[in-house]
Structure 1
Amino acid sequence: MDALAAVAREPHAPFTIENIVIESPRVGEVLVEIEAVGICHTDLAARDGALPTALPAVLGHEGCGVVREVGPGVTKVAPGDRVGITFNSCGRCPSCTAGAPSYCHQFMHLAYDGTRDDGSGPITTEGGERLTGMFFGQSSFGTHALAFERNVVKVPSDVPAEILAPLGCGLQTGAGAVLNSLNCTPESSLVVAGAGSVGLAAVMGAVVRGLSTIIAVEPHASRRELALELGATHVIDPTSGPVPEQVRAILPGGVDYAIDSSGVPAVIESLLGSVTFHGKIGLIGVPADPEASIPLTIINTLAMGVTITGIIEGDSVPDKFIPELVSLYKAGKFPVDKLVTAFPFAKINDAIDAQHRGEVLKPVLVHS
């Protein structure tokens, strides 16, 4: 079918709005008419060559829309159903069968290669040029996306699409880091480094879980203010002094949990000095420099029984966790609306520029 998409053709270059052609869904596939799609740092990392996704490509991996057609064998959804689209997983590997699809053994292939198992792809230009598609099993920077039965989740019709879309990746990652990955206990303490949309989702998850001390570390004053509005009990400006000292001025013994959403080695090192004995540190952010390292002072921290764990997609089982987040939003306990700014789909480059300037936290593209 004919569709419209934002195409990434060159690293660090603006997206171009182009006419494309999408194949009809094959076995297990679902064609979705996109209502809204969030813009995530991962999309830009793929465009700019930091991830192994071949250009030109249609990116986008936080879609929300209405099912228009399903392929053979699909029973989970039907045409007319409204769905959120999340990360894909194989459903067959040891992680998937153990209920941990975000650690699917095929994650890299399913997220970044943009092909089916047979090497085919579903998207071309009008002139027949092949475009990398199926990014994270969706490529939702367009009017339509071809997804899979495994990575679509039914969502209600009475919640705005711009609220539902970012639940597919960034917000479920932040909230899931607290509620699933670290499984923070009520009345415990947490420090979150970085008050972007992922970090603030972690703050909101901590409020939901009932933590007693929630500290957000963020250099931008407006984001610190928003963190307090969302339920952080304390905020720290890292430019005002060493973070461990500031954290221990609040809790002299250190915090029980720490989450990094920045991927900056110096920030991660500061968290190592902020946790207490048997503390747990969750790493969400991916370092921009793959050669980055942390000094061997980490050994002193590990001697305190500290656990450091990497976190992918907040250890979410999307069919269960996304509906939970929707219910929390509808109950006023997960105020996604305070993070999101909607832009017309055609203004994708303006939305990215606004995010880069720090004017918006979570830009979401909407189709009128």
Structure 2
Amino acid sequence: MRIKAAVMQKADGMLTRRRIELEEVELDSPYDDEVLIRITACGVCGTDKGAIHGLEPYPTPGVLGHEGAGIVEAVGRDVKSVKPGDRVMIGFPFCGECRTCRRGEMRYCEKGQALSFSGYRLDGSSGMKRLNGEPLAGRFFQQSSWSTHTLALERQLAKVPDGIDLDLCGPYGCSISTGAGTILNELKPLPGSAIAIFGAGNVGLAAVMAARLTGATRIIAIDKVPERLALAREIGATHSLEHGADTIAELKELVGGHLDYSVEATDGSNLVGEAISALGPRGTCAMVGGAKMTATVKYNHPDVLMNGKHIIGVMGGGGQTPTFLQSLMELQRQGRFPLEKLVRFYDLADVNQAVDDSDAGTTIKPILRMPH
């Protein structure tokens, strides 16, 4: 079938005007374990921007988008869990067969890198091409949802509950589940604990909303932008700090030196060293932010050793993908997870503007609506 897609010609390297242009392209029929989805909306995530700016490898020409939501139009012959007409959002891809998948840790699938960033299926096919026959890297996170229709694996789908706007649900596939899952799946704050979240973008604010659902009594948002800190307080932060040279000292004074958890959720700033230093004895730092692939972390070895601090990496919020995503959407339906407060909608044709606004920090979570 012919569809419309936002095609990235090449990574811009942060130096030249990007070339993401809408094109009419061809999409194949689904494989036996795949689903054809009419995309209604798809988020713009830091990982998309990383590919656009050349910070993360992705072949070109190709189609990005990995926070898609839409309506099932057709299914492969082996698909059992969804049917045409179902409302779904698309989560992380995973093989379902490797050691970590069998343990229920699908976010750490041993084939995850290839499934997410190769631009193709594991068999080397894409399913998406230009009208002249030129192949497109059309399997970004096995979905490439900056398009009016796409193919996805059955196992990466989660049904969207009735009673919530389908167009809001795509970001649960990556950025929102990353922030929320870091809190709910990995850190699991104890009652009376203190947690600091470095970075009040979409991932950090999702972590704030999730922390409000726990027994943590001090939830501290840290950012450079006052408007984001105000929003953090509105959605669950008990305190906020404007980031600067004295942030660590201010944070330690605020919690009496007993910071139990920290989350580094900045978009490339790499404040992991600060997040570790601010911890109290036996504290845990979760590394979540989008640092460059070549980034390193510096910390004081005796401080970490003598105080028994923990440093963990968290990919995509951990957890079993479809089940956890459905839980977050149910929390939203109940009014306990107000994702809508982070969102601004754009038309697919305005994808470049959405990326610019996200880069500039004027929009926290852009969502592209498709031209159906």
TM range (shorter): over 0.9
1:271 aligned residue:
275
CA contact (8 A) 2:208 2:232 kept: yes
Distance 1:233 1:296 in 2: 27
CA contact (8 A) 2:189 2:215 kept: no
1:254 aligned residue:
258
Could you tell me the TM-score, scaled by structure 2's length? 0.95
Distance 1:98 1:318 in 2: 13
Local SS of the residue matching 2:260: strand
Q: Which amino acid aligns with 1:318?
A: T
Q: Which moved more, 1:35-44 or 1:344-353?
A: 344-353
State which of 117, 120, 123 in structure 1 corresponds to 2:122: 117
Q: Deviations over 1:87-143 (max 9, x none)?
A: 100000111111000000001000011222221111001111110011101010000
2:329 aligned residue:
326
Matches within 5 A, 1:29-40: 29-40=34-45
Matches within 5 A, 1:147-158: 147-158=152-163
2:223 aligned residue:
218
Report the alpha carbon displacement of residue 248 of structure 1 after superposing the two structures with TM. Answer: 1.2
How many residue pairs get matched? Answer: 366
1:284 has 2:291 as partner: no
Report the alpha carbon displacement of residue 295 of structure 1 after superposing the two structures with TM. Answer: 3.0
Report the alpha carbon displacement of residue 347 of structure 1 after superposing the two structures with TM. Answer: 1.1
Local SS of the residue matching 2:282: strand
CA contact (8 A) 2:190 2:216 kept: yes
Distance 1:250 1:86 in 2: 37
Report the alpha carbon displacement of residue 264 of structure 1 after superposing the two structures with TM. Answer: 5.1
Q: Which amino acid aligns with 2:29?
A: S
Q: Deviations over 1:8-35 (max 9, x none)?
A: 1121213100001010001201110001
Distance 2:236 2:107 in 1: 28
Q: Which moved more, 1:24-33 or 1:342-351?
A: 342-351
Q: Deviations over 1:294-351 (max 9, x none)?
A: 3352442232111100001101312211111111111111000100111111111111
CA contact (8 A) 1:7 1:18 kept: yes
Distance 2:74 2:142 in 1: 16
CA contact (8 A) 1:272 1:298 kept: no
Q: Which amino acid aligns with 2:40?
A: E
CA contact (8 A) 2:221 2:229 kept: yes
Local SS of the residue matching 1:235: strand
Q: Which moved more, 1:32-41 or 1:311-320?
A: 311-320
Unaligned runs of at least 5 residues, structure 2: 13-17
Distance 1:357 1:42 in 2: 16
Distance 1:266 1:298 in 2: 18
Q: Which amino acid aligns with 2:252?
A: R
1:65 aligned residue:
70
2:347 aligned residue:
344
Distance 2:72 2:224 in 1: 42
CA contact (8 A) 1:17 1:346 kept: yes
State which of 338, 342, 348 in structure 2 corresponds to 1:335: 338
Q: Deviations over 1:157-195 (max 9, x none)?
A: 431123211111100110000000112223211000000
Report the alpha carbon displacement of residue 278 of structure 1 after superposing the two structures with TM. Answer: 0.7
State which of 36, 42, 45 in structure 1 corresponds to 2:47: 42
Matches within 5 A, 1:103-182: 103-182=108-187
CA contact (8 A) 1:162 1:340 kept: no
CA contact (8 A) 2:163 2:333 kept: no
CA contact (8 A) 1:248 1:274 kept: yes
Distance 1:121 1:154 in 2: 25
2:15 aligned residue:
none
Matches within 5 A, 1:7-86: 7-12=7-12, 13-86=18-91
Identity of aligned residues (%): 36
Distance 1:350 1:247 in 2: 36
RMSD (Å) for aligned C-alpha atoms: 1.4
Local SS of the residue matching 1:314: coil
Distance 2:299 2:230 in 1: 35
Alpha carbons of structure 1 residues 313 and 126: separation in structure 2 relative to 1, 3 Å = same
Alpha carbons of structure 1 residues 322 and 10: separation in structure 2 relative to 1, 3 Å = same
Distance 1:311 1:299 in 2: 24
Q: Which amino acid aligns with 1:9?
A: Q
1:367 aligned residue:
370
Distance 2:351 2:99 in 1: 38
CA contact (8 A) 1:124 1:131 kept: yes
2:97 aligned residue:
92
Distance 1:87 1:55 in 2: 21
Q: Which amino acid aligns with 1:364?
A: I
Could you tell me the TM-score, scaled by structure 1's length? 0.96
Q: Deviations over 1:211-231 (max 9, x none)?
A: 100001100000010011011
2:189 aligned residue:
184
Local SS of the residue matching 1:208: coil
2:311 aligned residue:
308
Q: Which amino acid aligns with 2:281?
A: F
